[in-house]
Amino acid sequence: MILRPNLDDLRNIGYYLGKIIIGLGLTMSVPIIAGIAFGEFNPSLDFFIAAEITVIFGLILTKLCRREQDLSWAQGMIVVSLSWLVATVLGAIPLYLSGHWKSFLDACFDAMSGFATTGLTLAQDLDHMSYAHNLWRHLIMFIGGQGIVIVALSLFVKGASGAFKMYVGEARDEKILPNVIHTSRFIWLVSIVYLILGALALGITGILNGMKPLNSFYHGACIFMAAFDTGGFTPQSQNMLYYHSLSYEVITIIIMILGALNFKLHYHIWMGNRKEIWKDIETTALFITIMITLVITAIGLDRIGVYPTAVMLFRKGFYQLISGHTGTGFQTIYAAQFVNDWNHLALTGVICAMALGGAVCSTTGAIKMLRIGVIFKALAEDIKRIILPERAIIVQKFHHIKTIFMEDKQVRSALLITLCYLLLYGFGALVGTFFGYPFLNSLFESTSAAANVGLSCGITNISMPAALKITYIFQMWAGRLEFMSVFVLAGFVVAAIKGK
């Protein structure tokens, strides 16, 4: 028998949702300040309006639903999945008011793309966009990359035991420090330290490349946020091609890889335990999968001979591959070039890289390296079972921060999530094909959306059908939250309708 959720359930969910919404509203003060500082008054007004609506909504929700009860697991998951949807709608308000998006759906598409750190965009006339709006596009990537809930956890939730349930709901099942709020704050500390270093490095490089100092540091901060949070938005319409700079590309590759590593690994590196980089199953798996997908892509590109030198192959082939594998989505080629200049083999290499992703507890999307590592370890174990005598005791272990003995439930969980991702990639490809796009292009774009990458082969544009835009929004949301919160929300809705 399914139990219908009662009023207490709804009030509990509403209360925590309200807190997260207020947190989102307060973050809009950053583009307001930037807008005023740059003398952009209409953009500042867009953010005033959006912040006011957001905070009013959050305050009403927390007042109406005021509860002192802790969240249950299901409630925590529902808060997370709903907060991402509500944040998308509220975060889209200033974007839509700017006039750079043709419809509110397009603005919601970009807001979800930002929060989910995807990077697919439907923005128009990006080259004339205000500093404030561009900063917001990158800031929502920064917020989404750390996790919308983590922002609220760090700022508003003090010692609530429900915090861990929301933290897990946001696809972060690994605690770095014993307390989840301290973990959230550590993630922020890491990100802000890297933000300062990364923005400085990119800013100085920009100046050396001939950019104006103010613009250079502004671009540096934006590009860092998009690279470290494996997002992929850029302030200009040409994406990374705008900079025409090898040094800029090399720095962003380093930042993208840092963003694709587990925050727990960052913690151990910070504590001086550098050997973890080489021992961890995730970094090993990441290195191997990069090599394999690089070989596939390089063979494909070599066959067509479009990038004949090593430098060209590095800047065009390797860059798109790393960008795809880390889930960033920066491009040094135009979207149409994927289809026109690359062959199917090279495209397949990039699709595989996008589908695999980076580390768990990082800012990347997709299947992730820990699961790939566990699945291959399980496969090796099963092969050993067949080869070795029946009486032999086979123990499979792997190193992930500490040595872990592999259990069946880990393998089952890894396989289930992998299956969910594969189904999600296939679903988007099917919808794309239904609307008349070639299958490989549809699979490329679908994988990019569901794995929160942001590389585009040209399907994503304002003229694509609204149903396809909604499909990609759903894929970005479900892919970022790694399904469980989405399934719980779906179950909650079913229980509300059919429950007794």
Partner 1 sequence: MMLKKIISLLFLLIAYSLQLTACFAQPISSTELINNAKLYDAKVVVYSGEVIGDVMVRARYAWININDGNNAIGIWVSKAVAKDIQYSGSYKAKGDVLEVSGIFHRSCPEHGGDLDIHAQYIRKLNSGRLLTERLNLEKRNFSLILLGVLCLVLILRQLKPKSKK
Question: Segment near partner 1 (CB under 8 A), from 286-294, 328-336, 467-475, 478-486?
Answer: 328-336
234 binds partner 1 (CB under 8 A): no
* Residue from 75, 332, 410, 475 in contact with partner 1 (CB under 8 A): 332
Task: Measure Cα distances from 492 to 30, 112, 479, 486 in Å.
Answer: 35, 22, 19, 10
Cα-Cα end-to-end distance for the chain: 8
User: In three state form, how does the secondary structure of the chain look?
Assistant: CCCCCCHHHHHHHHHHHHHHHHHHHHHCHHHHHHHHHCCCHHHHHHHHHHHHHHHHHHHHHHHHCCCCCCCCHHHHHHHHHHHHHHHHHHHHHHHHHCCCCCCHHHHHHHHHHHHCCCCCCCCCCHHHCCHHHHHHHHHHHHHHHHCHHHHHHHHCCCCCCHHHHHHHHCCCCCCCCCCHHHHHHHHHHHHHHHHHHHHHHHHHHHHHCCCCHHHHHHHHHHHHHHHHCCCCCCCCCCHHHHHCCHHHHHHHHHHHHHHHCCHHHHHHHHCCCCCHHHHCHHHHHHHHHHHHHHHHHHHHHHHHCCCCCHHHHHHHHHHHHHHHHCCCCCCCCCHHHHHHCCCHHHHHHHHHHHHHCCCCCCCCCCCCHHHHHHHHHHHHHHHHHHHCCCCCCCCCEEEECEEEECCHHHHHHHHHHHHHHHHHHHHHHHHHHHCCCCHHHHHHHHHHHHCCCCCCCCCCCCCCCHHHHHHHHHHHHHHHHCCHHHHHHHHHHHHHHHCC
Q: Out of 30, 185, 204, 236, which residue is the one contacting partner 1 (CB under 8 A)? A: 236
- Restricted to residues 54-93, the positions that interact with partner 1 (CB under 8 A) are 55-56, 59-60, 63
Residues 244, 274, 397, 412: which binds partner 1 (CB under 8 A)? 244
**Do 313 and 294 meet the contact criterion of CB atoms below 8 Å apart?**
no
Q: Per rule CB under 8 A, is residue 170 in the interface with partner 1?
A: no
Question: What type of residue is 446?
Answer: S
Count of residues of this chain found to bind partner 1 when the rule CB under 8 A is applied: 52
8 binds partner 1 (CB under 8 A): no
Cβ atoms of residues 258 and 363 within 8 Å: no
- Residues in contact with partner 1, shown as a per-residue x/- string from 395 to 424 under the rule CB under 8 A: ------------------------------
User: What is the Cα–Cα distance from 12 to 303, expressed in whole angstroms?
Assistant: 59
CB of 72 to partner 1, least distance (A): 27
| 41 is a contact residue toward partner 1 (CB under 8 A) | yes
* 336 part of the interface to partner 1, by CB under 8 A: yes
Give the Cα separation of 30 and 338 in Å (integer). 36
**Dihedral, CA of residue 388, residue 390, residue 392 and residue 395, to nearest 10:** 80
Q: Among 26, 36, 53, 89, indicate the residue that binds partner 1 (CB under 8 A).
A: 53
**Contact range with partner 1 by CB under 8 A, out of 197-205, 312-320, 367-375, 473-481:** 312-320
Q: Which is nearer to partner 1, 235 or 432 (CB)?
A: 235
**Stretch 192-211 residues interacting with partner 1 (CB under 8 A):** 209-211
Among 237, 343, 396, 433, binds partner 1 (CB under 8 A): 237
The distance of closest approach from Cβ of residue 356 to partner 1 in the complex, given in angstroms and rounded to an integer, is 25
Of 242, 376, 427, 487, the one binding partner 1 (CB under 8 A) is 242
| Cβ at position 64, least distance to partner 1 in Å | 11
* Least Å from the CB of residue 70 to partner 1: 22
Question: Please, which residue, 95 or 489, has the CB nearer to partner 1?
Answer: 95
Amino acid at 284: T
Q: Taking CB under 8 A as the rule, does residue 306 contact partner 1?
A: yes
341 or 381: CB nearest partner 1: 341
Choose the binding region for partner 1 from 281-289, 337-345, 364-372, 389-397 (rule: CB under 8 A). Answer: 337-345
CB of 52 or CB of 382, closer to partner 1: 52
- Is residue 213 a contact residue for partner 1 (CB under 8 A)? no
The residue (of 235 and 479) whose beta carbon lies closer to partner 1 is 235
The C-alpha atoms of residue 447 and residue 355 are separated, in whole angstroms, by: 6
Q: Is 291 in the site for partner 1 (CB under 8 A)?
A: no
Position among 246, 295, 383, 493 found at the interface with partner 1 (CB under 8 A): 246
215 interacts with partner 1 by CB under 8 A: yes
Measured from the CB of residue 35, what is the shortest distance to partner 1 in angstroms? Answer: 10
Of 111-119, 242-250, 380-388, 410-418, which segment contacts partner 1 by CB under 8 A? 242-250
Does 131 interact with partner 1 (rule: CB under 8 A)?
yes
Contact status: 495 vs partner 1 (CB under 8 A) = no
- For tokens 């399934």, what's the residue? 487
312 binds partner 1 (CB under 8 A): yes
275 binds partner 1 (CB under 8 A): no
Alpha carbon 159 to its chain's center: 27
- Using CB under 8 A as the binding rule, the residues of this chain from 373 to 392 that contact partner 1 are none
Q: Is 264 in the site for partner 1 (CB under 8 A)?
A: no
Contacting partner 1 (CB under 8 A), which of 128, 158, 409, 498?
128
Contacts with partner 1 by CB under 8 A lie at 39-43, 45-46, 48-49, 52-53, 55-56, 59-60, 63, 97, 127-131, 209-212, 215, 236-238, 241-244, 246, 306-309, 311-316, 332-334, 336-337, 340-341
